[in-house]
Amino acid sequence: MILGQQQAKQRLQRMLQNERLAHAMLFLGPEACGKLAMALDFAQRVLCENKQANEQGEITACGNCRACIKTSKWIHPDVHFSFPTIGTNARSDQFLEHWRVMLNEHQYPTVHEWLQRIGAENKQGNINKEECLNIVRKLSLKTFEGSHKIMIIWMPEYLGKEGNRLLKLIEEPPANTLFILVAENQELILNTILSRCQIVQFHALQDEEIVEGLQQRGIAEATAFSAAQLASGNFNEAMKLAETSENDNATLFLDWMRKCYKGHGVELVKWVEQFAGVGRENQKFFLRYALHFMREYLLLFTTQDATRLRLCKAEKQTAQRFLNIIGFEQVERIVTLLNQLSYHVERNANPKVLFLDASLQMHYFLRKRG
């Protein structure tokens, strides 16, 4: 199931219903919002041998024919993939097994996740000359068994000037050939490519859509809700946050702030020792929640309107109690401290030293209003 993106779904449905497929489309939108998942789904519906119309008249794939089975496993001979790789003469074909494994896990990848998966480390990914020539060779062949040949180019931003090699093919492709480009940054794509594509716009996912997707993966509602708030419409980020969270960060943050306000040394040391053992990923998740809470608190502080907060009921009550304790200048100091903590946690600083020092600073901030 593809989350949200109703406008994009409706536009693609009209193409299928009218049997008027654009020969080159650019699925454009923010990171991990469902563009690639939509491209894969659209390819399956185009190639399905037994297309069906539901009660609303929408064209769907049967899921059982030979074409559907192959496209669902990403092995259909008429569906080709191109994506960033590493190496001067590397081609996407050399990394197809990694690609299929990733798609089998989820269809909301980020380019950073993909490049790390194929061992890029600090190397830059690209779609090089040899890959472009390979695309031209593939699409010059006849279809093997489907009605169309479909080329899905994920992250065409990585083409750079090599994209000029594809201009003629995109503008005048062989019969029954479809290009689907899946991109995030329009400014990094050659204008000559953009002018040859119909742009299908995608948007960041809504919190409720992310919560629905996470719950389908077996994530508890409270954890899904918290992850969705922190992910800012990025489903990939939401999955990572939900899967690494083992704590109720709202309760944990409030407990920390109370102890910092009291300034009881023994209690602070106990809290820090316990928190140091939860692991770096959970510490990062906690700090992201803390920054999210402070952003929402600042909104409450300036507007006095709790209905606009992206917080649950209990968190809103906590934020309202803080109004008598935390002023504007303190918010600025606390946010700066939390950002510094995130920086040092990312770089494997000693968590006991780091959070004990931060707790003492927090005590000072909370006691020095005005």
Phi, psi of 228 (to 5 degrees): -65, -40
Q: Give, for all 370 residues of the chain, the pLDDT tens digit.
A: 789 999 999 999 999 998 899 999 999 999 999 999 999 999 999 999 999 887 777 899 999 999 999 999 999 999 999 999 998 889 999 999 999 999 999 999 999 889 989 988 778 889 999 999 999 999 999 999 989 999 999 999 999 899 999 999 999 999 999 999 999 999 999 999 999 999 999 999 998 999 999 999 888 887 888 788 778 888 988 888 787 655 577 788 889 999 999 999 999 999 999 999 888 877 887 898 899 889 889 999 999 888 888 777 778 888 888 888 888 889 999 999 999 999 998 888 999 999 999 999 999 998 875 4
Q: Which residue do the tokens 């040949």 mark?
A: 149
Report d(CA 53, CA 45) in Å as an integer.
11
Token readout for 225 is 């809700």
Amino acid at the residue 334:
I
Q: Please state the pTM of the whole predicted model.
A: 0.76
Model pLDDT, residue 184: 94
Contact 262, 349 (CB under 8 A): no
State which H helix or E strand residue 344 sits in: helix 328-346
Model pLDDT, residue 244: 65
Strand order in the sheet with 177-183: 79-82, 149-154, 177-183, 24-28, 198-201
Rounded to the nearest 10 degrees, the angle between the axes of helix 207-216 and helix 221-231 is: 140
**DSSP sequence for 188-209:** GS-HHHHTTSEEEE--PPPHHH
Report d(CA 369, CA 326) in Å as an integer.
7
Question: What is the three-class DSSP state of 86?
Answer: coil
Contacts of 232 (CB under 8 A, 6+ apart): 204
Go through 289-301 and write b for each residue having 16 or more CB atoms within 10 A of its CB, e for each that does not: bbbbbbebbbbbb
Phi, psi of 80 (to 5 degrees): -110, 145
For CA atoms 151, 152, 154, 157, the dihedral sign is positive
Report domain extents, the chain: 6-203, 209-244, 249-367
Question: What is the three-class DSSP state of 32?
Answer: coil
Question: What is the three-class DSSP state of 9?
Answer: helix
Report d(CA 114, CA 117) in Å as an integer.
5
For CA atoms 274, 275, 280, 286, the dihedral sign is positive
Report d(CA 256, CA 362) in Å as an integer.
10
Which one is the CATH code of 6-203: 2.40.50.140, 3.90.110.10, 3.40.50.300, 3.30.450.40? 3.40.50.300
Token readout for 292 is 């999210």
Model pLDDT, residue 282: 79
Q: Which residue do the tokens 């690639």 mark?
A: 36
